[in-house]
Structure 1
Amino acid sequence: MTPGLIVVTVTYSPGPHLDRFLASLGHATERRVTVVMADNGSTDGSPEAAIAQYPDARLLHTGANLGYGSAVNLAVRDYITNPANPVGAGDPEFFVVANPDVVWGPGSIDVLLEAARRWPRAGSLGPLIRDPDGSVYPSARHQPSLVRGGMHAVVGPIWKSNPWTAAYRQERLEPSERPVGWLSGSCLLLRREAFDAIGGFDERYFMYMEDVDLGDRLAAAGWQNVYVPSAEVLHDKGHSTGRDPARNLAAHHESTYTFLADRHSRRWQAPLRWVIRAALAARAGLVVGNSRRKTRRR
């Protein structure tokens, strides 16, 4: 008998997105799916409404706005690795993590599961992600090296077609099934053995970069991050991050420093960390200030 599948999503007043997420999920797989909503403090009532409408949905109140990775880890501990919980009778090998503003393409989860059999060292697998206008979002990327990531950060906002951004985002490659540096955390099929082996998401990241960090640590532990463009989802990204863009831009820069400082943590690299910190602070000051001015004009 084919086991069920657990899908974890983190909710924070997701509004009508959550209903579209749950309604389209039945088209993504032939398996019975249990959705665990790790709720970070929703006030719009949509998670409670989902419980009433969808019998296979479960609501886990995290108790505070823990951030994305911490909420996922809590849901995994309570509903997947906890043998006392009957929901833990899902697939012993895989589970899905996805944002509640994802709309599932037909068979998308089953296609990811089929690919996982072809890639036995895949710790994470991600689909092709489309933006609401139908364009392909560059969700499969290289790890951000100092040069490639740094130039992307510095010149990307003013020179969109620069070669460093194109290389980092792999924009000039045709979609193909292949290992990559990291995959967007908005929709991932995760191998439980791999996720457990690295301790799940790093909870120091409140938002942003937790998926980059996850992909990097999976690779360091001998696993692969595999892009599977034959599976497709639509992502109406930014439904929650758009509420306070200045705060979220600041959080993005802070998370970026955490990621880079971890990768250059030796004592003799302290001057490099100082330069990274100063450069990110300067960039954050510019983009956050610009965001606040735009908000005031609106």
Structure 2
Amino acid sequence: MARVNYGDGLGVVTVTYSPGETLAPFVDTLEKATSRPVQVILADNGSTDGVPEELAAARENVTFVPTGGNLGYGGGANRGVAALGPDIGWVLISNPDIEFAPGSVDALIAAAERWPRGGMFGPLIREPNGEVYPSARLLPSIGRGIGHAVFGPVWKSNPWTRAYRQETEPVERTAGWLSGSCFLMRREAFDSVSGFDERYFMYFEDVDLGERVGAAGWLNVYVPEAEVVHIGGHSTARSSDRMLREHHRSAYRYLADRYTGVLWAPFRAVLKAGLALRVWAVTRKS
């Protein structure tokens, strides 16, 4: 990809899929999150509630961009970023069910000045009840992954889960990857890895992106000074069983891509069977 000299403008891309009442607070709180002019792209994956079109028609700085179908989170985000002009050098990609604390986006951009090799910047993410979500984690490994999957549901404080989730005092630091629910990127860094891998429909696309950002020589930086609240799960709650299957499918893709070749074939077979069994057990129970 040819290098583009981008301006210093700020663009916000959110992927919509019948977001309902969460979208207006997203845009309203964004206005107080930054002092910069901001261009908002609603990359729409096939909403049927009419909310994205109505909001775009009512707001001057909001543009409705239909993606042509349900492309998943990464595919929709890539289309949204592609719709931004060359004046946009900062891209904030976010779920539409995020609410921003005042000054939070400016805090992310300020952190980028402290980290010149930072490519991706993630805020502190709170749940609606005020709890901090562990949004800056280590990259998955076989050992941590197995320990987290086996013991996580029954032993929340097990060492594998604690290590993976990096539930430490929230201080500004680097991470293996940052939650895809809300993050800021230098557009140059986004281009350098060609954005999201669209083979991931949902889940693990942020893990994969964070790993590739790091491999390209950039840093993933956690910035707890910037806070957002993730309302969570509006569009996925309607199809929770499907989302569970997508989560396990993406987990397999991520690990299978990294443990390739004949020698790792038995591991991939066991992994695939184990994930399929877990999906069956959980969906059967539900």
User: Among the aligned pairs, what percent are the same residue?
Assistant: 57
In structure 2, the partner of 1:232 is: 227
Contact 1:3 1:31 in 2 (8 A): no
Q: Could you tell me how far apart the structure 1 residues matched to 2:41 and 2:279 are? A: 35
- Residues 204-232 of structure 1: CA deviation (Å, up to 9, x unaligned): 00000000000011111111110000000
In structure 1, the partner of 2:4 is: none
Q: 1:1-298 maps to which residues of 2 (within 5 A)?
A: 3-77=8-82, 79-80=83-84, 88-92=85-89, 94-171=90-167, 173-291=168-286
Q: Could you tell me how far apart the structure 2 residues matched to 1:222 and 1:280 are? A: 32
TM-score if structure 1 supplies the norm length? 0.91
- State the Cα distance separating 1:287 from its structure 2 match: 1.6
Q: For residue 27 of structure 1, give the secondary structure of its aligned residue in structure 2.
A: helix
Q: Could you tell me how far apart the structure 2 residues matched to 1:62 and 1:40 are? A: 6
- Residues 178-201 of structure 1: CA deviation (Å, up to 9, x unaligned): 000110001010111111111110
Q: Could you tell me how far apart the structure 1 residues matched to 2:247 and 2:8 are? A: 38
- Tell me which moved more, 11-20 or 268-277: 268-277
Contact 1:116 1:122 in 2 (8 A): yes
Contact 1:141 1:170 in 2 (8 A): yes
Moved over 3 A (4+): none
Q: Could you tell me how far apart the structure 2 residues matched to 1:89 and 1:247 are? A: 37
- State the Cα distance separating 1:3 from its structure 2 match: 4.3
- Residues 80-128 of structure 1: CA deviation (Å, up to 9, x unaligned): 3xxxxxxx15433x21100100001110110000101111111110000
Q: Could you tell me how far apart the structure 1 residues matched to 2:131 and 2:94 are? A: 19
Q: For residue 120 of structure 1, give the secondary structure of its aligned residue in structure 2.
A: coil
CA pair 205-282 structure 1, distance change in 2 beyond 3 A: same
Q: For residue 6 of structure 1, give the secondary structure of its aligned residue in structure 2.
A: strand
Q: Could you tell me how far apart the structure 1 residues matched to 2:236 and 2:225 are? A: 28
Q: Could you tell me how far apart the structure 2 residues matched to 1:275 and 1:177 are? A: 38
